[in-house]
Amino acid sequence: MGWKKARRRKLMKNIGSEQEYREQIKQEGLTVGIFTTTWCPDCKRLDMFIDEITQEHQDKQWFTIDRDEFPEISEEQTVMGIPSLLVFRNGEKVAHLHSANAKTPEAVNEFLNEL
């Protein structure tokens, strides 16, 4: 494991249960969830630049959730494409960057800077 992946693990939590997800989105501050899968080419592209983005936005909590492992949560949050970035505060979704707009670091940063 490279130092970048080790560093990201400190900044980004990988959701392993619905309860963990529910607790994560209840935070008072902004929490960014990345809905992804293991087989998605655009997810792999996002993975290439997301480390730098999480570094720039350390004022937010970050987590990843596998859409295939939690289809009910994905449906509840209207995640139609992946990767999708959803932003939560106090359990409410406040913003959603759909997959078509999450393909470049510039687009993701612009989305996050507008929050």
Element (H, E) at 113: helix 105-113
40 catalytic, yes or no? Answer: yes
Length of the chain: 115
Secondary structure (3-state) at 108: helix
How far apart (Å, rounded) are the C-alpha atoms in residues 30 and 87? 6
Query: Is 25 within 8 Å of 31 (Cβ atoms)?
Result: yes
Catalytic residue chosen out of the listed positions 15, 25, 32, 43? 43
Residue matched to tokens 């409410």:
92
Catalytic residue chosen out of the listed positions 15, 25, 34, 40? 40
Going 111 to 85 to 59 to 24, the CA torsion angle's sign is positive
Q: Which residues are catalytic?
A: 40, 43
